[in-house]
Amino acid sequence: MTVDQPQEISVGERLLTLGWQQGTVFAAPALPVMYHKLNAEDRRPIPANRSPKNSERFIVISQDCDIKSSQEPYIEALLCMVTSESLIRKLLDAKSARWFTIDEKQRLVAQAKYRVLLEKEILLSLTPAPWPSSLERRLRFITWLGRRYDRPALPDDIVEQLQQPLERVLSRINEEHPQTLMLFSGVVHEVRVSQPWTAEPPYQMQLVLMIQSDQISAEEADAINIVIDEIQAEINCEYILLDSPRIVTEDQISLREYRGTWPIFLDYLTYQGNEINGIEPLKTA
- Report the CATH number at residue 160: 3.30.460
* pLDDT reading at 4 higher than 90: no
**Same domain, yes or no, for 82 and 114?**
yes
Say whether pTM exceeds 0.85: no
Residue 285 lies in a domain: no
pLDDT in tens, 23-58: 999 999 999 998 888 888 888 999 888 899 999 999
Q: Residue 89 in 3-state DSSP?
A: coil
Same domain, 98 and 163: no
Q: Is residue 134 located within the same domain as residue 231?
A: no
Whether residues 65 and 146 fall in one domain: yes
Question: How many C-beta atoms lie closer than 10 Å to residue 144's C-beta?
Answer: 21
Task: Identify the H or E element spanning 247.
Answer: strand 240-248
- Co-location of 28 and 134 in the same domain: yes
In a domain, 280, yes or no: no
pLDDT at 128: 96
Distance in angstroms (rounded) separating the CA atoms of residues 112 and 90:
18
In a domain, 209, yes or no: yes
Q: Confidence band (pLDDT; 50, 70, 90) for 7?
A: low
List the beta bridge partners of residue 38.
45
C-alpha closest to that of 211 among 152, 264, 253, 244 = 253
Residues with Cβ < 8 Å from 83, sequence gap 6 or more? 91, 107, 109, 271, 273
- 146/20 same-domain check: yes
Rounded mean pLDDT of the chain?
83
Q: Is the dihedral of CA 164, 240, 185, 226 positive or negative?
A: positive
Q: Higher pLDDT residue, 91 or 156?
A: 156
Alpha-carbon dihedral sign for residues 144, 149, 152, 155: positive
Do 160 and 132 sit in the same domain of this protein? no
pLDDT of 274 higher than 60: no
Are 121 and 188 found together in one domain? no
Domain extent at residue 89: 11-150
Asked if pLDDT for residue 283 goes beyond 70, the answer is: no
The reply to whether 214 and 249 lie within a common domain is yes
Looking at residue 124, its pLDDT comes to 94
Which range in 9-18, 187-196, 254-263 is most confidently predicted, on average pLDDT?
9-18
Instruction: Say how many C-beta atoms besides its own lie within 10 A of residue 66's C-beta.
Output: 15
Residues contacting residue 134 through CB under 8 Å, at least 6 positions apart: none
Domain count, the chain: 2
**Cα separation, 45 vs 38, whole angstroms:** 5
Cα–Cα–Cα angle for 137, 142, 148, nearest 5°?
120
The pLDDT assigned to 3 comes to 54
- Report residue 270's pLDDT band, with 50, 70 and 90 as the boundaries: very low
